[in-house]
Amino acid sequence: MRIRLVQGDITKEEADAIVNAANSSLLGGGGVDGAIHRRGGPEILAECRRLRASHYGKGLATGQAVATTAGRLPARWVIHTVGPVYAKSEDRSELVASCYRESLRVAAELGAATVAFPAVSAGIYGWPLDDAARIAVGTVREASGPVEEVRFVLFTADVHQAFERALNA
């Protein structure tokens, strides 16, 4: 599996699947989640509502992943995953890793060859950048399956630099 780093806007990334750093409600929010819902259009929200009503009444659990249409995004699917909020008092790094593993599992089930990830939990959920990057890159490196390319699409230079350090470690 190839791993690439891209600095840019994940909503403009052409890939089979784009991963959304979602909140547990699956109903949109701020950051990457809000941007994906706004740009992808109402089809994503409608499908998220159906999933929530039929399977995830209390919301998607942290570390899990589920797929919907990509709406108007330049992708076939959006894979929604819920990262943990950072807490110094508790090691929740396994939940961050689970977001990447579960997203790749869903991508494989869909037949996706290319997957674009944001920096899960590293934005408003407060995960320290270098640690988030280390977990993300390490988890993807350990993965096996039919996904041919993973792109980390990182919005700012500091996040890109953290992922570059992790990739080169």
Tokens standing for 99? 């977001």
CA distance 121 to 40: 21
CA distance 78 to 66: 8
Name the active-site residue from 9, 16, 33, 91. 33
Closest alpha carbon to 100 in 140, 60, 127, 142? 140
CA distance 70 to 57: 22
63, 74 Cβ separation under 8 angstroms: no
92, 131 Cβ separation under 8 angstroms: no
Q: Can 16 be counted among the known catalytic residues? A: no
Active site residues: 33
